[in-house]
Structure 1
């Protein structure tokens, strides 16, 4: 069947086709499309329109399955799967693959003329399998993502007068007594910075070819409006950073969870969600925890809770997810395994029972509930101080300081705040 694409989907597909047909430019580009915008359909439409061999790379079995199925639903037979996760390694005119599976036979993929990378924020421009592959094949690459930024760590100093200053931005002799000892009032600091994909150095992606905003899709009814509840008891000011500075230290987090009684609070909240005051049952409660212990305690204390983790066997995980989607399981707790590739439009409740310093993770987790469904009243319950850090996903915007200098902003504490390409400590 041929789908009737929405106007923004047509515009995204048109931009991608123009990109691949432009032989004069060797710059790589990205399509920025919110979670729930129908990336699988856009990928399928692009691949079906290109008169050249196409390699579609994605980070997981679940996303590959969605993209492949959508392309096949066009009635196209010139496609195959190359992925160890499927026990299939076939190369066709249009091949859907996972990056890990193709690396052992990288020479077999030199002939592809168009390369598409779904969830392209996962591409490390410095090293890794994607970078190795892209450098070898020397083809233009199109990326698609809802979160066009990556989290980096930075080391430097903090002063009361100037705040954080990264190493290299100040004269050492102005702030240090000697090589190892800062002057009074100067603190050694680990900070983070979310860098927009087109502003990393080195970089793989150069241009934003097309972008549609969350606000636009909400206004048109293509995404579900969400209600946010900040019920956090965690004080992230008490929590140390890990050695990279890019996330919280697990031991420090565990101590803070114990101090504030997070596991008990989580059980109480889930019980309340199962019996809401309005009497309308939730259509699914998806819980994200930092550690397996919180998910397992929740399952012991609240009836009807199932748990999936990275250690859950494939068949068992698939059965649990099916039972959850079909209503036989009311609450599904997981430890970081359902942040992407989990497509369940009826889902109306997400509980974020952990803090994160990653805007991409916050976005992806909230995005599990943002797909529209008739009569849906979506709730996001935050126990991890994330609303105070990033604000509502609905308010995220792609903006430019000047042509080509992109950044993401949000509304935090009632004020517009730049969230990428700015340091936070």
Structure 2
């Protein structure tokens, strides 16, 4: 058929490798990083399957994912039906894009000749959910292809129970190197997460909210956006609905056009706000776990992690939202308020994919992201074992407590090879100071000296107020002034 979308070389490789895997196995996971074109690969595979007289289902859990898949399948010349609430069902169509919630309720009533030969499960790391299991049990002879950027569940468990093979034709680092994704530029500070309970493999939302629900933190979220990403279209991931609403108000109070969406927002209103965000009416969009999947806006220039997570899968999904390329877009700014970069590393770190759960590692094991500490002189992020700051020569005491100053710094990577993998070590980019302030600890600077730093580095004027607020806070607690 003429005028079909052109595939990239690794997408062709993915199709070939999946076809080979499905000859030998009943199921396969196709791992493609965010922005690599999972739906495009599925559409071309579906086109080839239909050409051989097969029926195909594409199953997803979000309306946006189903709509995107239908549109992409039609670009490949396919006649597509839908199994979803509010959509007319056309059983004769060889491809059906399905909402898993609707499909799991209707599937028992479908006649055998309407069942598929192949099923694509979008965001395949959700396959363990009960709705997906009901679908699999109803069509046990259908070949399954799980599509995901993160082949492990949000609780860290593997997918071997549901898939027999895994195909991973390209890495995130290769996509960045070839210009299919833009690099991320990370700004982060340490987060005090001590004592927060864990539930279901992640931080308990109610306790995490208590940590983040502080006036100075709402102000800091806005100030750091102004410092590092002013003018960029940004998406903010928050802890819960109340946290997102309060964060939205903090942006609005500073005159920044900001909107909020969450899972309870009606579909029509959600579509309206997203269209307005894409058109530029809103500069910032706050949400609660809504856009970790099924969100595609190439000119998004900033991702703000206004929460912490122990789930590497969730972390990668959030950061990946901002890495699609667009005209004039050199990088995406990632502002991390939750210690996530330190916990999980960089988006394009080299990883070895497996259907098995990652092995539990002892704290600070070799393949973990290296522990860090902040230099009070120049704010460089050093390796924790450093005795002398590699940037300014500051000598660390033999037993040093890691600095808790809340200044955000840009962090970059140094790499080392361990066990055949390239592993990132977190360090920060040098932050220059006016000559007369070289060697003066940030915590000892006067307000006027902080103003000098702000002017010299191009920070927003309110950065100074933020530093003084934090200093007062720690002084009131009896700690060392920040």
Q: How would you bin the TM-score normalised by the shorter chain?
A: 0.7 to 0.9
Q: Output one character per residue of 1:226-269: Cα deviation in whole Å (capped at 9) or x when no partner.
A: 1111134x311232223x4x121233223322468422321322
Q: Aligned partners of 1:109, 1:369: CA distance in 2, in Å?
A: 43
Q: Aligned partners of 1:113, 1:235: CA distance in 2, in Å?
A: 51
- Is this contact kept in 1: 2:35–2:324, CA < 8 A? yes
> Residue 161 of structure 1 corresponds to which residue in structure 2?
none
Deviates more, 1:42-51 or 1:301-310: 301-310
- Is this contact kept in 2: 1:399–1:406, CA < 8 A? no
Q: Aligned partners of 2:273, 2:168: CA distance in 1, in Å?
A: 37
> Residue 196 of structure 1 corresponds to which residue in structure 2?
158
- Is this contact kept in 2: 1:392–1:410, CA < 8 A? no
Change (3 A) 1:368 1:151: closer
Tell me how far 1:371 sits from its aligned partner: 0.9
Change (3 A) 1:417 1:132: farther
Residue 81 in 1 paired to residue 82 in 2? yes
Q: Aligned partners of 2:241, 2:356: CA distance in 1, in Å?
A: 40
Q: Output one character per residue of 1:179-211: Cα deviation in whole Å (capped at 9) or x when no partner.
A: xxxxxxxxxxxxxxx22322xxxx011211343
Higher relative contact order (CA 8 A, sep 6+): 1
> Residue 97 of structure 1 corresponds to which residue in structure 2?
98
- Is this contact kept in 2: 1:120–1:144, CA < 8 A? yes
Tell me how far 1:411 sits from its aligned partner: 4.3
> Residue 55 of structure 1 corresponds to which residue in structure 2?
57
> Residue 296 of structure 1 corresponds to which residue in structure 2?
245
- Is this contact kept in 1: 2:209–2:239, CA < 8 A? no
Q: 1:143-292 residue pairs with structure 2 within 5 A? A: 143-152=146-155, 194-198=156-160, 203-232=161-190, 234-242=191-199, 244=200, 246-258=201-213, 261-273=216-228, 275=230, 281-282=231-232, 284-292=233-241
Change (3 A) 1:4 1:254: closer
Give me the CA root mean square deviation.
Answer: 2.4
Tell me how far 1:47 sits from its aligned partner: 0.1
Q: Aligned partners of 1:206, 1:115: CA distance in 2, in Å?
A: 15
Tell me how far 1:18 sits from its aligned partner: 3.3
- Is this contact kept in 2: 1:239–1:253, CA < 8 A? yes
Structure 2: where are the runs of 5+ without partners?
360-366, 372-413, 420-482
Tell me how far 1:416 sits from its aligned partner: 7.3
> Residue 27 of structure 1 corresponds to which residue in structure 2?
26
- Is this contact kept in 2: 1:55–1:116, CA < 8 A? yes
- Is this contact kept in 1: 2:151–2:353, CA < 8 A? no
- Is this contact kept in 1: 2:104–2:132, CA < 8 A? no
Q: Aligned partners of 2:320, 2:418: CA distance in 1, in Å?
A: 21
- Is this contact kept in 1: 2:218–2:247, CA < 8 A? yes
> Residue 162 of structure 1 corresponds to which residue in structure 2?
none
Change (3 A) 1:134 1:263: same
Match of 1:141 among 137, 144, 154: 144
Tell me how far 1:410 sits from its aligned partner: 6.6
- Is this contact kept in 2: 1:410–1:416, CA < 8 A? no
Q: Aligned partners of 1:56, 1:364: CA distance in 2, in Å?
A: 21
Q: 1:400-411 residue pairs with structure 2 within 5 A? A: 407=358, 411=369
Tell me how far 1:396 sits from its aligned partner: 4.2
TM-score (norm: length of structure 2): 0.69
Tell me how far 1:289 sits from its aligned partner: 0.7
Q: Aligned partners of 1:337, 1:83: CA distance in 2, in Å?
A: 19
Q: Aligned partners of 2:111, 2:343: CA distance in 1, in Å?
A: 42
Q: Output one character per residue of 1:136-165: Cα deviation in whole Å (capped at 9) or x when no partner.
A: 31122111100000144xxxxxxxxxxxxx
Q: Aligned partners of 2:336, 2:73: CA distance in 1, in Å?
A: 36
Match of 2:70 among 68, 71, 82: 68
Change (3 A) 1:258 1:97: closer
Tell me how far 1:353 sits from its aligned partner: 0.2
Change (3 A) 1:103 1:405: closer
Aligned length, in residue pairs: 354
